[in-house]
Chain A
Amino acid sequence: MKKLAVAIALMLSAIVANAADRATTPEITPPANGEEFLRLSSTEKLFWSIGYSQGYLDALNKIDVAAGANSACASLAARTERQSSTAGKMSGFELVSGLEKFYADPANTLIPVGSAIRIYMLQAAGKDQTTIQELIETARALGAESSHRPLASK
């Protein structure tokens, strides 16, 4: 009987500890698209933007380790990806401002944050408008597909 009581007490304390642990652990859910991004506070937007840029830069710097120093993947990263990354070209404040402007167009709200950042970067770098518009249209279609919603007509 004593053993059973101890077992029950242990089980209850484990459940309570688990619940307390869950309550103190913050939920970290990255914004998937503009709809979710615009719901964040400015501070959260700033943290996510800096985090995204930093993570992307880290991944680019480690691409030779992951894919091999002279691999096609590494040369693609050096040639193309670095151009459309925010690394060293834009502060977090500028990135948040750019995304806010980009998502101010209601037709862009379903575009994933990653695509929006790259499109905004290319736009800021002076890429031609036809290419930018094609990228935006593609990103809109992909965003609508991923959220299972019909494409919003502008």
Chain B
Amino acid sequence: MDLTSAAFCIISLLFAVPARVDKPLPRRIPAIVPGIVLTALHDANAASDSRRFDGALAVAKFVVEVMPLGPQRNEFRRCILIYQDIGAVLSYAMRERSGAYFNDDSLPGMHDRLNADYPGYDDYIAEFRVADAKGTVLYPTAETRKFLEDLIRR
């Protein structure tokens, strides 16, 4: 059983509570669940599998809602926010004919937002940007995803 399947099994178990309980969600989820979900997101991104990635991201958003307040939840939420950006880039990369590169026309506002939200992104991506025959600057989606993924591991 792979990690994604394991994560989905655990999520379904969360609903398996007696019907007479007022709050259907447990107050605590097993500590291992966020780790499993993050691994599923990491693996789906590494395999460029946007469908599996979207599924894992939906599970992650659900899990963070049932986590108790605290540093672990904050850290998990931070990872989800970064994975949301990875998801937007991954989905574009797999959907579009020229998905290996993006600019402001193809992914409006994405480069500026990444610049504003993640210090160091501009310097990092400068090495990999290219210009087409018309002089339009394009940024690679693969390196953008790698930069964001590295932020999560820090």
Contact = CB atoms under 8 A, between A and B. Distances in A.
Instruction: Decide whether A and B are members of one complex.
Output: yes
Interface of A: 41-43, 45-46, 91, 93-94, 96-98, 100-101, 104, 106
A147 to B, nearest CB: 20
B33 interface: no
A126 to B, nearest CB: 14
Interface string B117-152: 000000000001010100000101111000000000
Nearest to B142: A42
B69 to A, nearest CB: 38
B49 to A, nearest CB: 7
Contacts of B140: 41-43
A96 B138 CA distance: 13
B132 A100 contact: no
Given A43-B140, A93-B132, A100 B48 contact: yes
B9 to A, nearest CB: 23
Contacts of B47: 104, 106
State the main secondary structure of chain A at its contact with B.
Answer: helix
Nearest to B101: A93
Given A100-B142, A104-B94, A42 B48 contact: no
Contacts of A98: 97
B128 A94 contact: no
Contact of A93 (B49, B98, B143): B98
Contacts of A101: 48, 94, 99
Given A93-B138, A104-B47, A104-B49, A41 B128 contact: yes
Interface string B88-123: 000001101111110000000000000000000000
B99 A100 contact: yes
Nearest to A43: B128
4 tightest A-B CB contacts, nearest first: A42-B140, A104-B48, A97-B100, A96-B100
Contact of A100 (B93, B138, B143): B93
A17 to B, nearest CB: 32
Contacts of B132: 91, 93
A61 B142 CA distance: 34
Contacts of B128: 41-43
A45 B143 CA distance: 12
